[in-house]
Amino acid sequence: MAWLNAHLDRDWFGAPVPKNIRLGPNVYLESTYAFAAFFSQQDPALTMEEGSGAYGLTSFVVGPQGRVEIGAYTCLSSTAICCEDRIRIGAHCMVAWGAVITDSQVPHPETIGRRRQALLETAADPARRLRPMAEVAPVTIEDNVWVGFDSVIGAGVRIGRGSVVGCKTIVAADVPPYTVMAGNPARVLCRLDPDDTPELRKAVLAGFGLSVPDTPGWMESHA
């Protein structure tokens, strides 16, 4: 993995890639506009594993203490990542356009006066950065999860391996592994049979006349 402080080829925004991010091989970044609100002072503040990508208008809105981890071969498509503490997205995930993943949010109900004061403070800040008005809580999305468009994954949520979050779903509580959730508030639609175990992957490869290398841990690293 490489540390970067360079420019992307043919990037319309033209800003350098933040020096405190770490990118694996074959990572795709659409534009450094994704880091227009990237204020993290952590090192590394963002880790993107092999083959992952931030496409379209994906944005990383990350506070000074924020850390974001993106697993191998995960695709973010015009996704908003709002992080004040920690957000971890596993490997082989798909997050559709308009989805928001946040580890901090304004609590409800919140007084009109408090919201007004927060907006006034933000307007007076040259960085125009709205500070969180609630305690933050880390978000974890495990491997092989699909998040539909315009969904919101709230603070403190863990989404289990192999789950599907339907479009425009509001997730405010943990999602068990291999579960299909949809709605506002999110509700369980059905359970899925695990289809991504090492044994099943070996069987699928065998059906194409392929075999798994003998390298220890290969199956786990390619989950």
Active site residues: 108
Strand ranges inside 78-212, DSSP E: 80-83, 86-89, 94-95, 100-102, 139-141, 146-147, 152-153, 158-159, 164-165, 170-171, 179-182, 187-191
Residue 21 phi/psi, 5-degree rounding, is -115, 155
How many Å apart are CA 76 and CA 154, to the nearest integer? 17
Tokens 């699928």 locate to 204
Within its chain, how far is the Cα of 75 from the centroid?
A: 9
Q: Which two tokens stand for residue 79?
A: 């996704």
CA angle 57, 105, 48 (to 5 degrees): 45
Distance (Å, whole) CA 8 – CA 32 = 7
d(CA 139, CA 157): 5
